[in-house]
Chains A and B, each alone.
Chain A
Amino acid sequence: MSTLLTRTPRRAQPRRRSRAVGIDARPGFLVYGLLTAILLGSAYPLWWSFVMGSSESSARGDTWPPLLPGGRFWINVGEVLDSVPFWLALGNSLIISSVITVSVVFFSTLAGYSFAKLRFRGNTALMVVLVATMAIPTQLGIIPLFMLMREWGWTGQIGAVVVPTLVTAFGVFFMRQYLVDVIPDELIEAARVDGASMIGTFWHVALPAARPAMAILALFTFMTAWTDFLWPLLVLNSSNPTLQTALSQLQSARYVDYSVVLTGAILSTIPLLVLFLIAGKQLISGIMQGAVKG
């Protein structure tokens, strides 16, 4: 019980916790041991890749892998940069993911707001259609999409990657679920009474209220766009790749030099790793809020 008494009251829900009897006792070594094991499981494959990526590729055959990195990381980084247009790929991925994110978030908020707060004929029916389409795997339309992009002459250009995912049914549904509860009808009413137009109301009332959900949706949309592989593989080519397709080329260029491949894997992870270290807390609360809300 002494642990309980010394607990800092700054923590979340201090009121309820302080009344706790057994359940909020500080856990013992078993729990921390488990957590450490999970941490190792999460981090080891990345660490191992870094170690192998910085060693001679001959280190790969060693029975027990080395635990510390070797000195070849920068040499292998050079190899990666020589083998694939890494910076172009990084830029492409950033552009593609950002454009998709902005588009999905904006159109989802707009449509979600309309579904959640505006009255119009067919609201419920259209919403049912939307929910039904959420389960539809639109990725399976790649063959006509491929022909469409050829028709438009867009293959090889990043526009071809962007267009098929400019909107998602999930995004609209997600924003609607959020906005239904979060904006009081009275607020909209008041804005209307003050003479604001419909779009003005959306802009000044709905958008500010939607911001937290927009941030969550943006995170997920960005991640999905960033990790996409099949579609860019089909419509882009190796001279204008995304990070993912460029990375896969490493495994299929010349002789498979695994140190270089693993260096590439690490290199491609760094941008998100940095973002994760800066905004990891937000990402976590985004996932947890999204879970409760969506």
Chain B
Amino acid sequence: MTFSRTTAVAGIASAAAIGLLLTGCTSAGNASDDGGDTELTVTTFGTFGYDDLYAQYESDHPGVTIKATNIDTGGNARTDLFTKLAAGSGVSDVVALEEGWLGSVMEVSDQFVDLNDFGGADIASRWVPWKLDQGTDADGRLIGYGTDIGPQGLCYNAPLFEAAGLPSDRASVAELFGGDDATWEEYFDLGRQYQAATGKAWFDQPSFVWNSMVNQLPEGYYTSDGELNIEGNADLEERWGWLTQGVADGLSAQQARWDWGGGKGFVDGSFATFVCPGWMLGVLQGNTESGGGSAATGWDFADVFPGGASNWGGAFLAVPATSEHQAQAAELAAWLTEPAQQVAQFEAAGTFPSTTEAQETLAADATPNEFFQGAPVGAILAERAQGVEAQFKGPNDSVIQENVFQAVLDRVDTGELNAETGWAEALKLTDELVDQ
């Protein structure tokens, strides 16, 4: 029984540790200034496609280094942001905000700088007006520069369509779903037809379809006056009925969202359609690739969406009041949201721009996207953005979306709840989780 070695190791480690503690306790982990070099931290979520832009900005601005963090989902990013806001530190110099939790951010908008103080007013004309309004708080302070919006088209897997005897080229698929008059009823009917022919599911899991349906309405979980608007909302109930019927008919592949088995679900033919806001294109591609797939897997993007124009999601870049480099952070945020960069972001991640100029560029651009079977993704999204309007987002919009409806739909998906019990559970959960 000898302890000499452990003791010796412990001794050395402790000597080193004490030395490090003296420095470690006082030096912040981020944002350290030495000799004029500025380190800007940026936190994004989902798929932002900023990596190349960071590199470009760094080379254009010697002395600035960018340290980027990306969080998987909007929900986790929201928790992260609010924990850091509460901690009073740790929020990145530039932080991405999701449209869905803008409502709760606006309640503490004084924790972010007014970008108008940093030249925001001069560039305000960049954005489509509703996006600019969304990023402005009740006192007229500009909290966030818009990055992207989420016009929705329909992703579908061409080989699976073919195998089921459905048309598989983009134009015919758009036609199949009803073109400009596409409806959800038609979407689910086609699903049942597909399911009968192949025995396979139509969509990955119901909650994304539901998000699309809700975001399509002029008013979602809240009225435009900020009143909660779920109970007795005929529009929501009708859509709930369509969707839960579809699940009951076996149209859902019961995949785990944001996981899809590490992307496998996109590759193995589990489901044939997928609702695609612009930013989702990057998610789909990334997952397909990490699941071992490629362009040859056959995902395509059609210029059609059930129920008409829909906008799901979109983001903003904000600078927290705690940032030690507010001016430089605001400058970076402004640069990242310039039309040219928005186009570059679109090319990297499929996120559809929120500036008029960038939208026009994409509308005129028919560059085929290799992954999506050569679909002119930009032009299609520009088309899908026609008629999109901002929906009012209440303070608990994202809680209702994620902790109420997604949670309940997961249970509907497994058959634990049905249309009626699920709706009742959703109302009950809303009541319990949302302080009114």
- Which B residues lie within 8 Å of A149 (CB)? 87
Stretch at the interface among A133-141, A171-179, A230-238: A230-238
Pair A252/B89 contact, Cβ less than 8 Å: no
Given contacts A98-B13, A237-B30, A282-B6, contact A156 B24 (CB under 8 A): no
User: B90: which of A99, A155, A255, A279 is its contact (CB, 8 Å)?
Assistant: A155
- Chain B interface size band reads 35 or more
Taking a contact as CB atoms under 8 Å apart, the answer to whether A156 and B69 are in contact is: no
Q: Report the separation of the CA atoms of residues A237 and B292 in the bound assembly, to the nearest whole angstrom.
A: 32
Within A212-226, the residues touching B (CB, 8 Å) are 212, 214-215, 218-219
Instruction: Across the interface, name the chain B residue whose C-beta is closest to A98.
Output: B17
Knowing A211-B7, A253-B70 are in contact, say whether A57-B263 is a contact too (CB < 8 A).
yes
- Contact: A211 with B3, CB < 8 Å? yes
The answer to whether A153 and B283 touch (CB under 8 A), given A99-B21, A253-B71, is no
Query: With A150-B88, A255-B283 in contact, is A159–B25 under 8 Å at CB?
Result: yes
Q: Separation in Å of the B33 CB from the closest CB of chain A?
A: 15
**Docked-complex contact B6 and A155, CB < 8 angstroms:** no
Complex CA distance for A31 and B89, rounded to whole angstroms: 57
Interface 1/0 per residue, B285-319 and A, CB below 8 Å = 01101111000000000000000000000000000
Asked if A11 is at the interface (CB within 8 A of a chain B CB), the reply is no
Report the minimal beta-carbon distance from B298 to chain A, rounded to whole angstroms: 16
Tell which of B21, B67, B287 touches A239, judged by Cβ atoms closer than 8 Å: B67
Q: Which secondary structure dominates where chain A touches chain B?
A: helix
Q: List residues 28-83 of chain B with CB under 8 A from any CB of chain A.
A: 28-30, 41, 43, 47, 67, 69-73, 76, 80, 83
From residue 1 to 25 of chain B, which have CB atoms closer than 8 A to chain A? 1-3, 5-7, 9-10, 13-14, 16-18, 20-21, 24-25
Contact A57 B262 (CB under 8 A): yes
CB–CB B3/A95 < 8 A: no
- Interface check B428, CB cutoff 8 A: no
Q: Is A256 part of the binding interface, using a Cβ–Cβ cutoff of 8 Å?
A: yes
Contact A255 B286 (CB under 8 A): yes
Whether a CB of chain B sits under 8 angstroms from the CB of A228 is: no
Instruction: Determine whether A111 belongs to the interface, using a CB cutoff of 8 Å to chain B.
Output: no
Check: A158 CB closer than 8 A to any chain B CB: yes
Q: Decide if A157 touches B17 in the complex (CB within 8 Å).
A: no
Considering only CB atoms, which chain A residue lies closest to B48 in the complex?
Answer: A254
Contact B24 A95 (CB under 8 A): yes
CB interface residues, B 256-278, toward A, < 8 Å: 258-259, 261-264, 267-268
Closest to B46 in A: A254
Bound together, the chains give a CA A153 to CA B229 distance in angstroms of 41
CB of B434 closer than 8 Å to a CB of A: no
Q: A239 with B30: in contact, given A57-B262, A60-B264, A95-B24 (CB under 8 Å)?
A: yes
Contact B18 A240 (CB under 8 A): no
Q: What's the least CB distance linking A51 to chain B, in Å? A: 15
CB distance from B274 to the nearest CB of A (A): 14
Cα–Cα, bound, A232→B425 (Å): 35
Contact of A155 among B21, B76, B87 (CB under 8 A): B87
Distance of A287 Cα from B287 Cα, bound (Å): 44
Q: Are A102 and B24 in contact (CB under 8 A)?
A: no
Given contacts A153-B89, A254-B72, A282-B3, contact A99 B28 (CB under 8 A): no
Partner of A254, one of B3, B24, B43, B47: B47
In this complex, the member of B21, B41, B67 whose beta carbon has the largest number of chain A beta carbons within 10 angstroms is B21
Known: A61-B268, A156-B87. A255 touches B290 (CB 8 A): yes
CB distance from A276 to the nearest CB of B (A): 12
B27 at the interface (CB under 8 A from A): yes
**A226 to chain B: closest CB distance in Å?**
12
CB pair B268 A234 closer than 8 Å? no
Q: By the criterion CB–CB under 8 Å, are A235 and B87 in contact?
A: yes
**Interface residue? B86 (CB, 8 A):** yes
Contact of B10 among A162, A218, A255, A257 (CB under 8 A): A218
> Once the chains bind, are A150 and B41 in contact (CB under 8 Å)?
no
| B1 neighbours in A (Cβ, 8 Å) | 212, 285
Determine the chain A residues whose CB is within 8 A of the CB of B72 once the complex forms. 251-254, 256
Interface centre among A212, A253, A254 (most CB of B within 10 A): A254
Known: A157-B28, A255-B290. A218 touches B6 (CB 8 A): yes
A101 an interface residue at 8 Å Cβ cutoff?
Answer: yes
CB distance from A18 to the nearest CB of B (A): 22
User: At the interface, yes or no: B84 with Cβ under 8 Å from chain A?
Assistant: yes
**Beta-carbon contact of B14 and A98 below 8 Å:** yes
A101 to B21, CA, bound (A): 12
A256 close to B264 (CB less than 8 A): no
| Chain A stretch 240-286: residues in CB contact (< 8 A) with chain B | 240, 249, 251-258, 278-279, 282, 285
Least CB distance, B72 to chain A, in whole angstroms: 4
Q: Which residue of B lies closest to A60 (CB)?
A: B262
**Complex: how many Å from CA A222 to CA B132?**
52
**CB-defined interface of B241-254 with A at 8 Å, one 1/0 digit per residue?**
00000000000000
A 15-68 contacts with B by CB, 8 A: 56-58, 60-61
- CA A153 – CA B25 in complex, angstroms? 11
Given contacts A153-B88, A155-B90, A255-B286, contact A215 B73 (CB under 8 A): no
Cα separation A98 to B19 with both chains bound (whole Å) = 11
21 examples of A-B residue contacts, CB within 8 angstroms: A57-B262, A58-B291, A60-B261, A94-B17, A98-B14, A98-B17, A99-B21, A99-B24, A150-B88, A156-B87, A157-B26, A157-B27, A162-B21, A237-B29, A237-B80, A249-B69, A255-B262, A256-B72, A256-B262, A257-B290, A279-B6
Additional 4 contacts, C-beta under 8 A, given A157-B24, A234-B87, A258-B262: A102-B10, A102-B14, A237-B80, A278-B5
